[in-house]
Structure 1
């Protein structure tokens, strides 16, 4: 079936779902016969309609040959903001991913491009068949920030999970939630496509990269020109057969034994399963449903599973000084009996010293490549691969690392986080150089950058200044953490010291839950957009809460905790109130994963704005308590409770009455205390007690703050915003 027939068929399917009247408001009749003539006629676009505010201002046809962002039909079907008809009523039908891909292919088919024409367009610049991960985004998230457009990267970030993927049609996105199971986490896929691309030096005004870094003007970036797809309509004079090959590998266990001696395992065993896993990590979705190029991680019953060899549990001699990057808390004795070291006092020192036989666990995270195979072009153009990352679950899927970085740069306190924030899209390292059939070069430093199609014309307006960002997950590297040797999705090799550096999956903790445990407890130290469990455990070092999670999100009062841990509690002890904690030393996030008790049911609903409001409120609390940005002073004020207040609320009403001030909009409630001495009770070495010298309760809105010291009356807090 030719592309026009397919487009006609999908338009006929969508028309009765509100699309006919919606697009007719722009002058486009998707039921017209013949449809081909209707699709290329000039239109009067009504950009006041919801979802069309950021459609390219110079676009005026349903299909603009070779220009997806200027094609009204493609924008309408692909934009996550086009969800209502011209009267404001919700659309009743939505396009499938395969249908959106069909329209995108048709946009390029109508351009009637030939290889000779593309070579002329590229001039003296190298050309190749290049694989990109891509997304259609609203204006605020594009490379140029002028109108909705496609964004591309040669790195895609998929995510592991315990349930199959779920497509949210109105959002035009996949979501990780399992509605009837708070502990279910769906896999998150990546869309890969092959384009004929040209290699250019960085040029932000023309194609990017997004958030250009120092030195980008001298770096080479592959820039998409023309999308490739099957059939004779893609390139004039050629009948293409296109396949995407992928290779994924998890070699974390292998690299443990390469990095440490005396583990009991060596070559050639460690280069074979289960030390190296290449099978059953990911698969391609059915093209009929999802279109060509949707890479799906395989769902597994648990995020972490015990490794086995020849039907027996895989064990090893725990090396000394792994820095918490290797799980070694479960042991086997000579008789094969299992022991959980978390039940021993001083487990942290036991793990640090090593020297015992521990059980190996593996996860399904991986890295690898995706490469296009097109026989008709094989001898004419080289094939350039995309770097594929299958990362850990994202507990804040609606939040974005790049947006957080941009927001933080506007805040008056530059030292909100313990470490410098970084988005993976801003990293300029080459991809993993140890992969099979090595497709990457040490000089290819732009693999994680985000680029756009070569810019045709400047938009007449800048809708990004007041156009809201759509809160939805992203598979591009601006939504992933940068490298702090390691990061969250991908690590750096070598982890420390001088370069040249390369990205790698094997440099991460084994299993990934060890990374989660460390990063979260350090106040989201490395990734930025990650859970902050600093207040869940006893005050330690100079650490303090940065991104407060609500009492419900950390499992207080019987709710579903994101990490299955129990937060601090106020208890009476010897005639006074103290704070009681479960000690961080005895937490085991690998055990949490084995038990299937991780959850993003609550944290996954937090939007970018809500996340930022929490961070700002927490900072304001420290400032009012005269702790400022000094981590030493902040650690003296641990967070006991954090809640979102909803009216009517008796405490809020009392506070407003006593202070004479009404808080408008959202309200955050913080309960903190001035810490005193801490100790371990004699009857339970897994507990920590902390004396409370002073309690303070705060109610915070965007514009004001009320404060109560102990049981004194509420008053207005004086703060410098």
Structure 2
């Protein structure tokens, strides 16, 4: 079938499923006998205000299909926008089959570009290259210009590992980490990324291009970015007079375990005899037989889908030459070296993580390595793994401090790599295609919270983001300006995939098309959008060490570059520290500082609710049979107040006794609750937190410096239904936050060696009514003295 016939088929399939009636409200008839003419004619009655999901359709667009311009094509917006649904009321249709597939969207994209009839002369072709982009159609609020829904591009895509296959949710027009089987508390669906090949030109940004999140720094004005111009697809209709074929390929690499033992890395550990660190699993790549991703075509575009094994973490195995048997890969844990203040030679983070200290701001190896799973031989010589977390306090601490035991290495199937393409049929004098950077990284436990949204909020805070985040910044990866890993090879070659001078790899770009109406408009009304991004503005920039990617360098060339080799081994080892120290706030990391009783250095900055952190069996609501005991998203139980003979205490998990690797092996990590949190909900929680801290006595007035501990956090759907509300003026929705001032002395929980407690000196209960992001009324109870305060942040 030619492209018009493909569009006719998709129109015939979708029209009776609600799309025919929906588009007729704009004057577009999918059942027209001459569909080509129908899609090309001007439509005088496009209803952007009355039909849900079209408020952010380009204000100057007039046709069902605008040649070469998906953002001004009504049919494409309807089918591709996550805000549009084939129902009279604009709510999602119950049947996923009522939505277009990615293959159908791809066919429509190809038709739109083919209608442009782009003819390029030799001089124009000489300026163009074939470039692979990750791309996504987005609502206006998630674009760089904010004026209309638009295709958004980046040369980096982020796929995420999971325990079950990737789940594309057509209603969201995106992948979704909650598995299709509905086992949201047992499984995490992998997340894919979509790529396409485009003719592109490399130049400085013009007024027609904008970056999502804005310019990263002043140097951006002089940097050269790849600007997509025309999508490429197979067949004779893409470019007049040419017949194209496309063949995609990939290369991905994980060498975290090798780096832990590489002699050139300061602080590295000598490998045990008989293990070869130059072979899998120490170094794994697409060329050494490790399959990190599956490439799946979606028409002419490509889906990169992580390969799943049913586990996020598993033991590393290699045939050991000294025994000629397959053995658990392991290393000898050295004796603890810890200084106060910390020194580069220190080899512990806290008590329980082996640490390879970063030098000069870059990571040459995983900074944190799990060391709490000892490999021992039984009486028959068979190897087994003992979880040291089960040991008693004294034995546990002595073991970890003394070292001199063999700890297991684990695999996590994260990687970084490239997606390349071969295009036949173009003029032979065109240069080689430019590959995209591909990250296969940890799950996104907050899929609806984009990093850029939080970054924008933080940069607008009065007196700066340091009033909220004690360290670091919610800085999106799209603002990073680093080269990509030079060890990444082009598919099917031994040459490097990336130019070490190319620093714009993670930028996220939009074309700005201003017509008579669009140029006069402010941002359109926000439309409902539950799509999940796989572009870098939803990922975390290189932090310490990072969640999605880390920063390393080549000592000989002095080039800094992004790579996955500096991330924790395995990734849950670092995930705990990122989550506990919210100050580093990668987009994918929930704030678990409440779980671990943290009040200094990084007090909670983005509150998770009690239901998300988990209810301990001794929590007051469990004791009263109000809720059932259950662990939270990370397999731990959240904090709770307990009344003892000695007074009121806060009971919380011991950071040094919590092991996310053990929890992952037990299948306890999930995102059932967290997947419901939107960016606006998270901002509202943070604004409520800020309002409380400003009003409470002894709080220091800043979230980043307060010594008060948020021990209880609850969302209130309707204050009028809450019998214990302090003030009748509390109406509508809001939050109930309970803060305490605790003694510095830490006591062990004698009934649970993995938990601690601290005595409460003072307790405050805050009740807040909210309107969107703003707290309209705050009432707090301090020793039964209620203090109403009208708050207008």
What is the TM-score with the length of structure 1 in the denominator? Answer: 0.93
Superposed displacement of residue 56, structure 1: 1.2
On the 8 A contact 2:603/2:705 being kept in 1, the answer is no
Q: 1:161 maps to what in 2?
A: 162
Measured in 2, the distance between the counterparts of 1:553 and 1:477 equals: 26
Q: 1:283 maps to what in 2?
A: 294
On the 8 A contact 1:263/1:318 being kept in 2, the answer is no
Measured in 1, the distance between the counterparts of 2:631 and 2:81 equals: 34
Q: 2:307 maps to what in 1?
A: 298
On the 8 A contact 1:157/1:475 being kept in 2, the answer is yes
Measured in 2, the distance between the counterparts of 1:337 and 1:720 equals: 59
Measured in 2, the distance between the counterparts of 1:327 and 1:512 equals: 9
On the 8 A contact 1:47/1:53 being kept in 2, the answer is yes
Q: 2:256 maps to what in 1?
A: 252
Measured in 1, the distance between the counterparts of 2:301 and 2:121 equals: 26
On the 8 A contact 1:285/1:293 being kept in 2, the answer is yes
1:159 and 1:500, CA in 2 relative to 1: closer, same or farther beyond 3 A?
same
Measured in 2, the distance between the counterparts of 1:147 and 1:632 equals: 36
Report the 3-state secondary structure (helix = DSSP H, G, I; strand = E; otherwise coil) of the residue aligned with 1:552.
Answer: helix
Q: How does 1:107-256 map to 2 (within 5 A)?
A: 107-116=112-121, 119-120=123-124, 126-178=127-179, 179-208=182-211, 211-213=214-216, 214-256=218-260
What is the aligned length? 709
Measured in 1, the distance between the counterparts of 2:305 and 2:500 equals: 28
Superposed displacement of residue 539, structure 1: 3.6
On the 8 A contact 2:256/2:283 being kept in 1, the answer is yes
Measured in 1, the distance between the counterparts of 2:137 and 2:577 equals: 34
Q: 1:409 maps to what in 2?
A: 459
Measured in 1, the distance between the counterparts of 2:564 and 2:660 equals: 20
Q: 1:601 maps to what in 2?
A: 672
Superposed displacement of residue 250, structure 1: 1.7
Superposed displacement of residue 528, structure 1: 5.2
Superposed displacement of residue 128, structure 1: 0.6
Measured in 2, the distance between the counterparts of 1:59 and 1:138 equals: 15
Measured in 1, the distance between the counterparts of 2:59 and 2:644 equals: 68
Q: 2:589 maps to what in 1?
A: 530
Q: 1:384 maps to what in 2?
A: 434
Choose the corresponding residue for 1:332, options 368, 371, 375: 375
1:482 and 1:353, CA in 2 relative to 1: closer, same or farther beyond 3 A?
farther
Q: Structure 1 residues 425-434 or 577-586, which shifts more? A: 577-586
On the 8 A contact 1:413/1:629 being kept in 2, the answer is no
On the 8 A contact 1:318/1:358 being kept in 2, the answer is yes
Superposed displacement of residue 427, structure 1: 0.7
Report the 3-state secondary structure (helix = DSSP H, G, I; strand = E; otherwise coil) of the residue aligned with 2:725.
Answer: helix
Q: Structure 1 residues 625-634 or 100-109, which shifts more? A: 625-634
1:686 and 1:33, CA in 2 relative to 1: closer, same or farther beyond 3 A?
closer
On the 8 A contact 1:641/1:671 being kept in 2, the answer is yes
1:67 and 1:353, CA in 2 relative to 1: closer, same or farther beyond 3 A?
farther
Q: 1:102 maps to what in 2?
A: 107
Q: 1:263 maps to what in 2?
A: 270
2:687 matched to 1:687? no
Measured in 2, the distance between the counterparts of 1:653 and 1:720 equals: 25
Q: 2:725 maps to what in 1?
A: 655
On the 8 A contact 2:208/2:512 being kept in 1, the answer is no
Report the 3-state secondary structure (helix = DSSP H, G, I; strand = E; otherwise coil) of the residue aligned with 1:13.
Answer: helix
Q: How does 1:621-640 map to 2 (within 5 A)?
A: 621-626=692-697, 627-630=699-702, 634-635=706-707, 637-640=708-711
1:442 and 1:469, CA in 2 relative to 1: closer, same or farther beyond 3 A?
farther
Measured in 1, the distance between the counterparts of 2:556 and 2:777 equals: 46
* 1:85-132 residue CA offsets vs partner (Å, 9 max, x unmatched): 466576562111110110001011111123428x54x7x8x3210000
Q: 2:56 maps to what in 1?
A: 54
1:207 and 1:565, CA in 2 relative to 1: closer, same or farther beyond 3 A?
closer
1:337 and 1:153, CA in 2 relative to 1: closer, same or farther beyond 3 A?
closer
2:77 matched to 1:75? yes
Superposed displacement of residue 467, structure 1: 2.0
On the 8 A contact 1:250/1:505 being kept in 2, the answer is yes
Measured in 2, the distance between the counterparts of 1:74 and 1:353 equals: 63
Q: 2:509 maps to what in 1?
A: 451
Q: Is there any run of 5+ residues in structure 1 with no aligned partner, and where?
A: none
On the 8 A contact 1:141/1:469 being kept in 2, the answer is no
Superposed displacement of residue 357, structure 1: 1.1
2:693 matched to 1:644? no
Measured in 2, the distance between the counterparts of 1:348 and 1:64 equals: 68
Report the 3-state secondary structure (helix = DSSP H, G, I; strand = E; otherwise coil) of the residue aligned with 1:598.
Answer: coil
2:356 matched to 1:313? no
Choose the corresponding residue for 2:546, options 468, 480, 487: 487
On the 8 A contact 1:645/1:666 being kept in 2, the answer is yes
Q: 2:281 maps to what in 1?
A: 274
* 1:312-353 residue CA offsets vs partner (Å, 9 max, x unmatched): 211112356154310111112465453322225365675466
Measured in 2, the distance between the counterparts of 1:74 and 1:705 equals: 46
**Root mean square deviation of aligned Cα:** 2.6
2:567 matched to 1:508? yes
Measured in 1, the distance between the counterparts of 2:25 and 2:791 equals: 50
Choose the corresponding residue for 2:682, options 590, 611, 622: 611
Superposed displacement of residue 461, structure 1: 4.8
Measured in 1, the distance between the counterparts of 2:425 and 2:469 equals: 51
Q: 1:17 maps to what in 2?
A: 17
Superposed displacement of residue 84, structure 1: 4.0
Q: How does 1:22-33 map to 2 (within 5 A)?
A: 22-33=22-33
1:3 and 1:681, CA in 2 relative to 1: closer, same or farther beyond 3 A?
closer
Measured in 2, the distance between the counterparts of 1:547 and 1:207 equals: 29
1:268 and 1:695, CA in 2 relative to 1: closer, same or farther beyond 3 A?
closer
Measured in 2, the distance between the counterparts of 1:303 and 1:554 equals: 20
Q: Structure 1 residues 324-333 or 468-477, which shifts more? A: 468-477
Report the 3-state secondary structure (helix = DSSP H, G, I; strand = E; otherwise coil) of the residue aligned with 1:77.
Answer: helix
Report the 3-state secondary structure (helix = DSSP H, G, I; strand = E; otherwise coil) of the residue aligned with 1:655.
Answer: coil
Q: Is there any run of 5+ residues in structure 2 with no aligned partner, and where?
A: 320-325, 337-346, 354-367, 490-494, 616-621, 623-628, 771-775
* 1:254-297 residue CA offsets vs partner (Å, 9 max, x unmatched): 11112344432599921211112232211022546xx6301100
Measured in 2, the distance between the counterparts of 1:623 and 1:97 equals: 48
